[in-house]
Amino acid sequence: MLDNRYLILDKAGEGGMACVYRAEDQKSKEIVAIKVLHAQMATKAFYARFKREFKTCSRLRHPNIIGLRDMGNTAEGGLYYAMEFLPWQDLEDLLVENLQKNTTCSEEFVIKVMRQMADAFAYYHALDVVHRDLKPANVMISDEGKIVITDFGLALDLNSTRLTATGTIVGSPLYMSPELITASNSDFRSDYYQMGVIVYNLLTGKLPFNAPDIPALALTIMHRQPTPVTEHVPAVSPQWDLFLKRCLAKKPDDRFASAEELKEAIEKLKVGKLVPPAPSEAKVRTVSERKRELPKSAIAAGLLFLLFFLFFALSGTKDNNRTFTLKELQCLPDVHSLEIRWQSDEAYASRVYIEGKGLIEGSDDDVQNHRLVIGNLKANSPYIYKIVYPNGERSLPKRARTKDIKLQLVEATRVGKQGTISWHCEHAKHSTLRLSKNRVLKAIAVGRTFTVELKNYKELQSDSTIEITIQGHEHNFELRDLLLAQSKKLSSV
């Protein structure tokens, strides 16, 4: 029972920020969805974001927007809110089904989805709310085709103080608009861009922009044009290329100027009367005008570089007029992990970005001391890591290397038919000797030295191996190679 009101029935889903449960409201006897903030997210910044989501969404009343009902605290001091429960699939589920069936959505279906999204945009944009994290997983759809937009966790209320400061990247990378990637000021036109990515995905089963990693993806989104929809699906109307060119324009000014203009374009698209927009003033500037603007842009770029340099040189950053200072940074490497310790003036700064692993959430020993163990790394490998501050800025990069595995053969003796093999590995707690595919002997451990006694030394094969388990990772060493490298002999090998 949650808050003496909601009877938890089962888990409905889980995301990076919270779990969603299906529950029964004991007052109304209705089935509701309960969103509970993850314990590891229980920091000031995420509490503020969670409360902001409720505050933003609780005032929205529209048939295509999720309805929120109540907010409170769990027995452990965490946060939750209750919302209407929708036993529907989301558009991401639909895309997965299409992929399995090797099909795509019809034009009529996509237009029906767009109309409803545009109606929702017109409503909440008029209230100065911007979603900023539209993606298939955040659009629920019923069997009858009704859609509901959910998860306003990154929504921007243009009338309130920003919790996500300018300079912070927000959103799901594959659906980010260029201005969200560069952390520029964003407005309602970011929602039109993200709707364009969803539409492109529904029509083609593909994303307009993709890349093997986040930096490459960001460059692709900012500088490349998507493949026309008609090249992926020749059967669809060429009108879609015109429509999506507006939605996915790099500059917000080149997209639809309002939800009403978007709705009008959808209706023209349906009847095949959509035409290319007239060139904007920015597109018809003369060469001399652009030359006159060049010095201004060069000066601005130089000033921006100088500001970034000074900012990182001082190894601090600001968020809502607060300064975050990094002190006593330590990195304690192990074979498959790095333990990073540091001090800062706020507990909720405990996040680390590590290349190849992404953003890692940590826990705090106390208000100022932070400790994070990043596991599942490769042995004897270099890594670059940065401390991430509450506003998303990162410290200067630091380098670290995981430890190498050192295994030393201590003894290899034979007396008659019997033999003894001992080895030492400072990192291992368990070890075995594999004689053959189906014959494995568990070693007796004394500290970090392991010993196996053989009743018949003839069991040893040329490919017999010593197996070491370190932090869940298995490592194999050829016994023959160890004997040769350390000038030890056991006559059967």
Cα separation, 19 vs 453, in Å, equals: 52
Burial class (CB in 10 A: 0-12, 13-18, 19+), 446: exposed
Query: Token digits for 31?
Result: 């089935």
The SS3 of residue 468 is: strand
Residue 364 phi/psi, 5-degree rounding, is -110, 135
Cβ(317)–Cβ(393) below 8 Å: yes
Query: Token digits for 202?
Result: 């529904």
Among this protein's residues, is 133 annotated catalytic?
Answer: yes
Which position has the token pair 């039109």? Answer: 192
Query: Token digits for 84?
Result: 């209407």
Which position has the token pair 């969200």? Answer: 180
Cβ(136)–Cβ(90) below 8 Å: yes
The pairs formed by 215-224 with CB atoms below 8 angstroms and a separation of 24 or more are: 217/173, 217/174, 218/173, 218/176, 218/181, 221/176, 221/177, 221/178, 221/181, 222/178, 222/181, 222/182, 222/250, 223/250
Cα separation, 251 vs 184, in Å, equals: 11
Catalytic residue among 25, 93, 128, 133: 133
Q: Please list the active-site residues.
A: 133
